[in-house]
């Protein structure tokens, strides 16, 4: 059983047989049915998901490998526009749950940090990344979106921004990357908190 199949099997155990993808579903098809859900923002360039019977999401986050291998032997990968990139492959199998959140702040180049209600985090699971639907909310504003759980399907060095500048003479970490390993990934896209000091609120 290859790692993609293994990831799909584990995910399907959690979401039920109705989530089973059709043959070839992991290939980038620019949101062709049944993986036709869109967030209507930039994440759509590298995600393909479908709405499940319970109103959640099931699908894939894609990456492209840059060709650089770091000093510690990690292949560098990043998110790209899969409609223009020559080769996009599945980096993560994802599940999503509809959850509202409040935008707090963003420190580039990291993901924007949002406030969610702890009771809204699905259990069991490792839901760590919230993404908005439509326009990105301003700091202090609340918005509808989805809380995502990521299951990595491969081994690579993920660099979210400026991956083309990665150098083979540096380690993954020295290049600003994160070592990804097959399995549950609660680190690479982590952007939620469940409390925030009122004095620091936007």
The 10s digit of each residue's pLDDT in 113-143 is: 999 999 999 999 999 999 999 999 999 999 9
| Structural domain that includes position 178 | 3-17+30-200
Instruction: Tell me what pLDDT residue 198 has.
Output: 76
Q: Are 148 and 133 in contact (CB under 8 A)?
A: no
Report residue 108's pLDDT band, with 50, 70 and 90 as the boundaries: confident
Report residue 185's pLDDT band, with 50, 70 and 90 as the boundaries: very high
Residue 127 maps to a domain: yes
Residues 6+ apart with CB under 8 A from 176: 109, 159, 161, 162, 166
Q: What angle do CA 142, 201, 131 make, to 5 degrees?
A: 35
pLDDT in tens, 31-77: 999 999 999 999 999 999 999 999 999 999 999 999 999 999 999 99
Residue 24 maps to a domain: no
Residue 142 maps to a domain: yes
Residue 22 maps to a domain: no
Instruction: Tell me what pLDDT residue 192 has.
Output: 98
Domain count, the chain: 1
Instruction: Tell me what pLDDT residue 99 has.
Output: 98
């Amino acid at each position: 059983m290859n790692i993609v199949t293994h990831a799909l099997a584990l995910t399907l155990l959690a979401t039920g047989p109705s989530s089973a993808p059709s043959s070839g579903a992991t290939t980038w098809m620019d949101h062709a049915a049944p993986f036709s859900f869109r967030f209507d923002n930039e994440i759509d360039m590298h995600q393909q998901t479908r709405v499940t019977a319970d109103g959640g999401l099931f699908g894939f986050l894609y990456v492209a490998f840059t060709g650089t291998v770091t000093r510690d032997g990690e292949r560098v990968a990043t998110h790209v526009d899969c409609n223009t990139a020559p080769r996009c492959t599945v980096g993560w199998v994802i599940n999503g749950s509809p959850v509202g959140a409040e935008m707090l702040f963003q420190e580039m180049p990291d993901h924007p940090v949002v406030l969610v209600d702890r009771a809204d985090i699905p259990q069991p699971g490792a839901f760590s990344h919230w993404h908005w639907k439509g326009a990105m909310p301003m700091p202090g504003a609340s918005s509808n979106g989805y809380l995502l759980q990521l299951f990595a399907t491969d081994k690579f060095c993920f660099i979210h921004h400026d991956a083309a500048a990665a150098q083979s003479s540096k380690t993954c970490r020295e290049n600003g990357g994160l070592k990804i390993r097959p399995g549950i990934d609660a680190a690479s896209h982590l952007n939620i908190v469940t409390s925030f000091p009122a004095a620091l609120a936007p």
